[in-house]
Structure 1
Amino acid sequence: MVGLLVVATLITTALVTSVSVSDRERTLDQLLARTEPLSDAAQNLYVQLSVADATAATAFLAGGLDTGDVRDRYTEALGAAAGEVVRASTGLAAEDAASRSLLSSISTNLPTYAGLIETARTNNRIGNPVGAAYLAEASTLMQSTVLPWAESLHSGKSDDVSAVQRRFATPPWTALLFLVVSLVVLLGAQVYLGRRTRRTINLGFSAAAAAVVVLLGWMLVAGLVSSTATDRALERGAEPLDLLTSSRILAQQARTDETIGMTRRTASDDYEKSYTESVAALSDTLASLSHDETTRTARIDETRTLVAIWSSAHDRLNAALDVGDFDAAVAIATGSAPGDAADAFGRLDAALVEEIDASRTALRDNVQRASGVLTGLTVGAAVTCGLAALAVVAGMWSRIREYL
């Protein structure tokens, strides 16, 4: 009965440990292969849609034919957004109906948006003022309908990434507890057997106990390293990545409001208010990143400086509009000289992209480390507990044989 109890404990421990480690390793691998890339696709989808909207508005500022590079940027952004829809849809789980619905709605409305932009561009070429109305309608569709869908998709997928990391940011305590219980049962059985047989050491039980101690040490080290890497991926990867992505989205929203507002040839109150709110939220988000020692970098400080330069350019732009100097305002809004709005925004967006890439790399590297350290542990736990159980049977058999 003692032998059966010990063997049953070891088999149970093998099952619990193998299932726990296998679940952790499989989920972390799925995070790398599907969940995180899907979150990245959702982020890129939102940004590319915003870029397309802002670029389309920029083409209207000078009037007449838009330049080739502006046209190319718009076309590339819209094409990239369509590509991200495809990329995101291929990574969705079969049961994720909500995300599929969002992607379907986005892909359905993109041709409508593109058609409105083409109508606006055609009217702008021939000097019809109605072109600005079509542009405003297209931008309203994008800002009020399509982008909120994209933001909802990104928010959900970003939460999925963080949820997985929070779930595995602690060691596998259940598996470790079962290993400790198995060791205690083995030692207790050894003491009991020694008293009953008047033999101090049983080689089978000693070998089994040694195997469990080795597995416990392996599990403890691997579990702690895995949980530490997962926690680091959350603190230095997922959390700053979420804030940086939000910052880039806010910057794109502000730039869209700036350009769309200028197509009305005045500092429109609604667009100006939206621009001010977006820039204020952007400044707060970057400040929180800058004040955190784990996320502060030279590029983060640079982005805060660029936001200040952009805000100063925007103030000069509004001042020009207030006195009716639309050409000067356009030059500030679209110019590439240092201190112009377009230059400051472009450098800001580039710096944010670099920080996003760095945070994503940190996230994936740490998740890869968290998963890699568990390699072989699932099979190792089963084999070690199996060998321990055989050692217990061998140790008991030598005693049982004395009664046969």
Structure 2
Amino acid sequence: MTPVDTDVRIFAASSPGKLLAMGMLLVLICLTAGLTTSDEVGGRQDALRTLLADSEPDAYSAHSLYTALSVADAAAGTAFIAGGIEPQPVRDRYSQAVGEAAAELVARSGHSGEPVDGPDTTLRTGIATGLPVYTGLVETARTANRSGYPVGAAYLSEASNQMQTVLLPMAGDLHEHRSAAVVQAQRDHVRPPWKAILLLTVALLALLWAQRELAHRWHRTLNPGLLAASVLLLALFAWTVLAGSISAVAMVHGRDEGAVPGSRLTESRILVQQARAAETVKLVRRDATGDYDRTYAAGVTRLGELLDGYPPGAPAADDIASARAALERWRAAHQRMNDTLNRGDWAGAAVVATGNGTADSAAQVEALDTALEHAVTETRDRLRDEVATALRVLNLLAPGAYLIGIVVAVCVVLGLWPRLREYR
């Protein structure tokens, strides 16, 4: 063993060596705790910003895309039933829905961080490719209908089949994927920052151990530097737990009062358009098998369950009440349509389904969808407000933890330096 190694061992075993080692260990632990807390909080803030800027808008866009496609399909059937040149409002509704679907495909492409060959990109591409085929079939059906050719019904039926079996399932998968990203972000944020809490706890225990050692070995009952470091770390610990808890509670409120009722409303809007499409296609095809009636009945039954089970504390209670009333009126109008159709009066049934009267199906479907749309907007605003609150609560914590970690390390050095100078 060289003289240098011997000197190092002797110094390490000496009181100043142990004191220096203690100081270096405390500085390392405190810096690590502060920097880790800062990094974890910063990561959570980045995740919330991504949720506000990308994930949630992507999910809403996917919902809007699905709804627009469903509205287009229902409007196409309504226009066809009118016969000849369809009413301009119905035509405008169809054109607007197709335009909104195309706009959603363009507006959100590339915004979700999805790779070029990712599943969501593939779904969007599939919908974008299939939409012109669908509109082409509808236009062919419309042209044949205006000319009085019965083949128009076959074209419209094929268009609706493509929408129901190809385009809407892809749009549904897209909405499910994007909604899952929002749910995952909420779940991750509610989970406590265990790594930061653990390191802060270790740092506090290390400071308490150091002060106990100073009192036991060096007979120093109170060290101002270590005491200040302990107070600062304890404040950071309390700040982290409190701010994290408030932020998590805000996210829970956003989930319970925004995301959860919003998902029910989204499903409700989809069911409205599916049931409406079944109602109109039944008339177009003059169907007597009862298949479309069963589709309609299943849709409105599930819709009624969703509205009746709407969380009582969620926003948009007035809109939900309006939606329930419109649903009951729609059921009555649908029954009246079927009764008229059973009497052999197809024209009268078509008037009930597509007429401008306040008791007709078309008016109730519009009132129902409008109420649900308003409710979706309210729940979405609540979700975004709570996420913004969760983000705002953490604004100062990340830089504060970074700064406190450094100040605590300096306090440790200042607290131990006078003890080291005593051995000169």
Structure 1 equivalent of residue 9 of structure 2: none
Structure 2 equivalent of residue 141 of structure 1: 162
The answer to whether residue 329 in structure 2 is matched with residue 309 in structure 1 is yes
The answer to whether residue 66 in structure 2 is matched with residue 64 in structure 1 is no
The answer to whether residue 159 in structure 2 is matched with residue 132 in structure 1 is no
State the distance in 2 between where 1:318 and 1:83 align: 37
Whichever residue aligns with residue 347 of structure 2, its letter is: D
Whichever residue aligns with residue 309 of structure 1, its letter is: R
Secondary structure at the residue paired with 2:86?
Answer: coil
State the distance in 2 between where 1:388 and 1:285 align: 54
More divergent stretch after superposition (130-139 vs 63-72)? 63-72
The answer to whether the Cα contact below 8 Å between 1:265 and 1:321 also exists between their aligned partners in 2 is no
Secondary structure at the residue paired with 1:177?
Answer: helix
Whichever residue aligns with residue 86 of structure 2, its letter is: D
Secondary structure at the residue paired with 1:86?
Answer: helix
Whichever residue aligns with residue 31 of structure 1, its letter is: L
What is the CA-CA distance between 1:273 and the residue it aligns to?
A: 1.4
Structure 1 equivalent of residue 346 of structure 2: 326
Deviation string for 1:347-383 (max 9, x for gaps)? Answer: 1101100110011001000001101111121121111
The answer to whether residue 48 in structure 2 is matched with residue 28 in structure 1 is yes
The answer to whether the Cα contact below 8 Å between 2:316 and 2:379 also exists between their aligned partners in 1 is no
What is the CA-CA distance between 1:53 and the residue it aligns to?
A: 0.8
Q: 1:184 aligns with which of 198, 201, 205?
A: 205
Q: TM-score, normalised by structure 2?
A: 0.92
Q: 1:238 aligns with which of 248, 251, 259?
A: 259
Structure 2 equivalent of residue 358 of structure 1: 378
Unaligned runs of 5+ in 1: none
State the distance in 1 between where 2:413 and 2:104 align: 58
More divergent stretch after superposition (35-44 vs 304-313)? 304-313
Structure 2 equivalent of residue 223 of structure 1: 244
Q: TM-score, normalised by structure 1?
A: 0.96
The number of aligned residues is 403
Q: 1:376 aligns with which of 396, 405, 413?
A: 396
Structure 2 equivalent of residue 14 of structure 1: 34
The answer to whether residue 64 in structure 2 is matched with residue 47 in structure 1 is no
Between structure 1 and structure 2, the one with the greater Rg is 2
State the distance in 2 between where 1:295 and 1:155 align: 23
What is the CA-CA distance between 1:299 and the residue it aligns to?
A: 2.1
Q: 1:339 aligns with which of 335, 359, 363?
A: 359
State the distance in 2 between where 1:83 and 1:212 align: 52
Q: 2:226 aligns with which of 205, 217, 230?
A: 205
Secondary structure at the residue paired with 1:168?
Answer: helix
Structure 1 equivalent of residue 301 of structure 2: 280
Give me the identity figure in percent: 42
Structure 2 equivalent of residue 110 of structure 1: 131
Unaligned runs of 5+ in 2: 1-20
The change in CA–CA distance for 1:91 and 1:60 in structure 2 (over 3 A counts) is: same
The answer to whether the Cα contact below 8 Å between 1:166 and 1:231 also exists between their aligned partners in 2 is no
Superposition RMSD in Å: 1.5
What is the CA-CA distance between 1:312 and the residue it aligns to?
A: 1.0
State the distance in 2 between where 1:70 and 1:332 align: 15
Q: 2:119 aligns with which of 73, 98, 118?
A: 98
What is the CA-CA distance between 1:266 and the residue it aligns to?
A: 4.3
What is the CA-CA distance between 1:71 and the residue it aligns to?
A: 1.4
Deviation string for 1:242-300 (max 9, x for gaps)? Answer: 1110010001100111111111234552211111111111111112115x444682322
What is the CA-CA distance between 1:222 and the residue it aligns to?
A: 0.8
State the distance in 1 between where 2:188 and 2:42 align: 14
State the distance in 1 between where 2:252 and 2:229 align: 34
State the distance in 2 between where 1:64 and 1:295 align: 44
Deviation string for 1:101-123 (max 9, x for gaps)? Answer: 00000000111111111111111
State the distance in 2 between where 1:279 and 1:244 align: 13
Whichever residue aligns with residue 359 of structure 2, its letter is: G
Deviation string for 1:188-226 (max 9, x for gaps)? Answer: 211211232222221211121121122122212211111
The answer to whether residue 225 in structure 2 is matched with residue 196 in structure 1 is no
State the distance in 1 between where 2:315 and 2:289 align: 36
What is the CA-CA distance between 1:133 and the residue it aligns to?
A: 0.6
